[in-house]
Amino acid sequence: SAVISQKPSRDICQRGTSLTIQCQVDSQVTMMFWYRQQPGQSLTLIATANQGSEATYESGFVIDKFPISRPNLTFSTLTVSNMSPEDSSIYLCSTEGGKGAFYGYTFGSGTRLTVV
């Protein structure tokens, strides 16, 4: 099953700045997904990233705010642009993968972002 390395694990950023989050997968995968988890909340899909094409964004998320790169089949980045305190969340990347006998989706350990 795919193993995802995500960094940074956490950051504290000034409002108005941008942060780029990286995810590296230990195997080639077709699709990668980016989620946001607001404090005490569930996970909400931001966008789906395929290699070689524009990311597909979910309702309420736009490319100017959350630009995504997918330069190859093992790597993706999400940028949180022009940050405000409302962007303080955990951001997680995901891809297809399994654990033991089950196949589903595997997640990175997340990036805990605090905007001050």
Select 84 or 112, whichever has its Cβ closest to other proteins: 112
Residue 76 binds other proteins, judged by CB under 8 A: no
Question: Residue 33, interface with other proteins (CB under 8 A)?
Answer: yes
Q: Is 59 in the site for other proteins (CB under 8 A)?
A: yes
Using the minimum distance from each CB to other proteins, give the nearer residue, 17 or 44: 44
Q: How far is the CB of 32 from other proteins (least distance, A)?
A: 10
Residue 111 CB partners (closer than 8 Å, separation 6+): 6, 7, 8, 9, 10, 11, 21, 90, 91, 92
Residues that bind other proteins (CB under 8 A): 4, 6, 9, 31, 33, 41-45, 48, 58-59, 92, 94, 96, 98-110, 112
